[in-house]
Amino acid sequence: MAKKDQKMSETETEEEETEAESMSESESGSEEQKQESKGGGIDYIMSLPDVPRNLPPHVELQRTRVFANIDAPTHTDSIQYSGAFASVGLDNSFRLDQFRNNFRVEVIRFSDDGMDMEFDMIGIDPAIANAFRRILIAEVPTMAIEKVFIANNTSLIQDEVLAHRLGLIPISVDPRLFEYAENNAPNERNTIVFKLHVQCAKDLEEEKGQSKKKKEEKKVPPRITVKAKDLKWLPKGSEFYLESEDSNSNSSSKSKTYTSFTCSQDSLPKFSNNKIGFKEPLDDINIARLGPGQEIELEAQAVKGVGKTHAKWSPVATAWYRMLPEVVLLEEIEDEDAETLKEKCPVGVFDIEDIANGRKRLTVARPRACTLCRECIRGGEEWEKRVSLRRVKDHFIFTIESTGALPPEVLFTEAVKILESKCERVISELS
Report in angstroms the alpha-carbon separations of 50 from 22, 25, 62, 92, 396: 10, 9, 23, 20, 35
| Rounded CA separation 393/100 (Å) | 18
In the complex, the smallest distance separating the C-beta of residue 426 from other proteins, rounded to whole angstroms, is 5
327: CB partners within 8 A, 6+ apart: 349, 350, 364, 367, 370, 376, 387, 388, 389, 390
In the complex, the smallest distance separating the C-beta of residue 423 from other proteins, rounded to whole angstroms, is 4
Helix (H) or strand (E) holding 84: none
In the complex, the smallest distance separating the C-beta of residue 430 from other proteins, rounded to whole angstroms, is 6
Of residues 4 and 425, the one with the C-beta less far from other proteins: 425
Of residues 44 and 103, the one with the C-beta less far from other proteins: 103
Of residues 83 and 348, the one with the C-beta less far from other proteins: 83
In the complex, the smallest distance separating the C-beta of residue 106 from other proteins, rounded to whole angstroms, is 6
In the complex, the smallest distance separating the C-beta of residue 356 from other proteins, rounded to whole angstroms, is 33
Of residues 247 and 421, the one with the C-beta less far from other proteins: 421
| Rounded CA separation 361/37 (Å) | 55
| Rounded CA separation 19/57 (Å) | 8
In the complex, the smallest distance separating the C-beta of residue 261 from other proteins, rounded to whole angstroms, is 32
What is the contact surface with other proteins in residues (CB under 8 A)?
A: 80-83, 91-94, 96, 99-100, 103-110, 112, 114, 119, 121, 124-125, 127-128, 130-131, 134-135, 138-139, 409, 412-413, 416-417, 419-420, 422-424, 426-427, 429-431
In the complex, the smallest distance separating the C-beta of residue 176 from other proteins, rounded to whole angstroms, is 16
Of residues 94 and 241, the one with the C-beta less far from other proteins: 94
Nearest to 328 by CA among 364, 362, 354, 371: 364
Count Cβ atoms below 10 Å from residue 407 Cβ, excluding itself: 17
Of residues 256 and 308, the one with the C-beta less far from other proteins: 308
Which residue type does 69 have?
N
Of residues 302 and 411, the one with the C-beta less far from other proteins: 411
For residues 131-141, b (16+ Cβ closer than 10 Å) or e, as one string? bbbebbbbbbb
In the complex, the smallest distance separating the C-beta of residue 125 from other proteins, rounded to whole angstroms, is 5
CB 237 within 8 A of CB 257: yes
Of residues 44 and 94, the one with the C-beta less far from other proteins: 94
Report in angstroms the alpha-carbon separations of 404 from 80, 112, 230, 257, 301: 37, 13, 18, 30, 19
Nearest to 193 by CA among 161, 227, 136, 231: 231
